[in-house]
Amino acid sequence: MDINVEELIRQALEMRKMSYTPYSHFNVGAALLAANGTIYTGCNIENASLTPTNCAERTAFFKAVSEGVRDFEAIAIAGGPDNATELDYCPPCGVCRQVMSEFCRDDFKIIMAKSVTEYKIVTLSENLPDRFGPKDLLG
């Protein structure tokens, strides 16, 4: 399917504003494109107990899966300190890569964005080679 990369990045940047990050002050927004064309957005949500923190990517995935959607094409990620004037690329953490691995094919696209016009795209298999996934348990 055609992926509107700029629109995904725009929504990820917009979601950054919703991040709840009183501890790290590192704000991340994500926009996940489902195969049905719907975009699910997410932000990171921190917790005083620290480990319950949920990353932006997983927020987006869990919103989608909780609505019965399990087929995905791409995710845009934009992250950086809350006072940053320019963003660096924000790669997904290992836990989020593993969640992607549960639902996404090798060619799922991970779009890391500094801005709507400056981004790089890698596939899930590049980001998480030799991944452990459902096929390892279910055959």
The set of catalytic residues is 57
Quick one: which H or E segment has residue 32? Answer: strand 26-34
* Phi (first) and psi of residue 72, to 5 degrees: -130, 155
Q: What are the C-alpha distances in Å from 119 to residues 1, 64, 65, 139?
A: 19, 24, 26, 36
Give, as ranges, the residues between 23 and 62 that touch ligand THU (CB under 6 A): 24, 26, 28, 44, 46, 53, 55-57
Nearer to ligand THU, 26 or 62 (CB): 26
Strand partners, 39: 33
Q: Which of 9, 60, 76, 96 forms a contact with ligand THU (CB under 6 A)?
A: 96
Q: Which is nearer to ligand THU, 41 or 138 (CB)?
A: 41
Q: Which residues of this chain interact with ligand THU, rule CB under 6 A?
A: 21, 24, 26, 28, 44, 46, 53, 55-57, 79, 90, 92-93, 96
